[in-house]
Amino acid sequence: MENKIKVDKKNLDEEGYVMVKNVFTEEEVEKFREVAYKVIAEDKKTGNYIIHRFAWNHIGCLTNNEETFDIVLNDKIVQIATQILGEKPVFFGDGILEIGIGNRGFHKDVSYTRDPEHEDWKMKNYPIFRMGVYLQDHKKHSGGLKVRAKSQNATDFKTGKAKILGNEAGDIVIFNLRTTHAGNAVRLKLFPEVSLHTSLEKRVPKFLRVPEEKERVSFFLTFGLRSPQLDRFINYMQNHKVYKTRIEKATYPEELISKIEEKVDFINLKTYKPQYK
């Protein structure tokens, strides 16, 4: 029997993020990288992609491909999501495959970011989180994730000490959608743990920065619980230009829905209408 993966949920609740070590083996990481390149190669032929800054992004739901289904709803992923949420997690098609360098600016993924009186900010533990599955080393190399600790309870983007996370290939980084974060962190050769302002990172000459281990390949997966917060996030997705395109491109035949629902609670955004006020 596979060992149960332990998640430090206390750290996620208090700091806004948590890293789970050694979730995937070296062999699994290499397999996932191969699958990612295969998907993007096909996307280039069909036009089923967007380029975000310098990164290739698959458009649609990754469960439509048998190989990426086994990544997005991998038993280890579902086990972690269930442990965090305390019950069967909701998956609503928000899975992203990205190859290359994306946006570096600090931001939050929650739909309402500036109003501390909004309902999404009144609750202590926001019930939606995102997993970053990174398929290369960022402990000693550039390209990883930066977060601001304890920023999940502040609506601005400056609260919390910025930290470059030292995740390795096979680790998973999990963060609350309210947590301030930035991708593609640049490490300096002389001060690799120092977090630069994101506006300075792109100005650092190559000879001063630690290079990436290899081309950045990442999956980002979102899970939550049925709630008013999830309804508001879904409404945001359904009216956001890029998310709308992803939703429109996604297809869910009955046999796929049945397969998804064997793993998680599923919401089809193409047909879903809010259940909560």
pLDDT of residue 114: 83
Provide the CB-side half-sphere exposure for 175 (13 A, CA). Answer: 25
Residue 103 scores a pLDDT above 80? no
Average pLDDT of 56-80? 95
Contact 6, 82 (CB under 8 A): no
Name the 3-class secondary structure at 273: coil
Burial grade of 231 (CB within 10 A; 0-12, 13-18, 19 or more): middle
Q: Which of left, alpha, beta for 36 (phi over 0: left; psi -120 to 50: alpha)?
A: alpha
* Residue ranges per structural domain of the chain: 9-266
Residue 1 scores a pLDDT above 50? no
Average pLDDT of 188-201? 92
User: Of 57, 209, 71, 41, nearest to 140 (Cα)?
Assistant: 209
Q: What is the pTM of this model?
A: 0.94
Q: For 117-136, what is each residue's pLDDT tens digit? A: 899 998 888 999 999 999 99
CA distance linking residue 52 with residue 39, whole number of Å: 17
Q: Where is pLDDT greater, at 116 or 34? A: 34
Average pLDDT of 5-17? 95
Question: Has domain 9-266 been given CATH number 3.90.550.10?
Answer: no
Q: For 229-243, what is each residue's pLDDT tens digit? A: 999 999 999 999 889
pLDDT of residue 2: 55
Q: For 204-259, what is each residue's pLDDT tens digit? A: 999 999 999 999 999 999 999 999 999 999 999 999 988 999 999 999 999 999 99
Name the 3-class secondary structure at 115: coil
pLDDT of residue 199: 83
Lowest mean pLDDT among 61-65, 66-70, 100-104: 100-104
Burial grade of 129 (CB within 10 A; 0-12, 13-18, 19 or more): buried
Lowest mean pLDDT among 61-70, 107-116, 152-161: 107-116
Q: For 14-48, what is each residue's pLDDT tens digit? A: 999 999 999 999 999 999 999 999 999 999 999 98
Amino acid (1-letter code) at residue 5: I
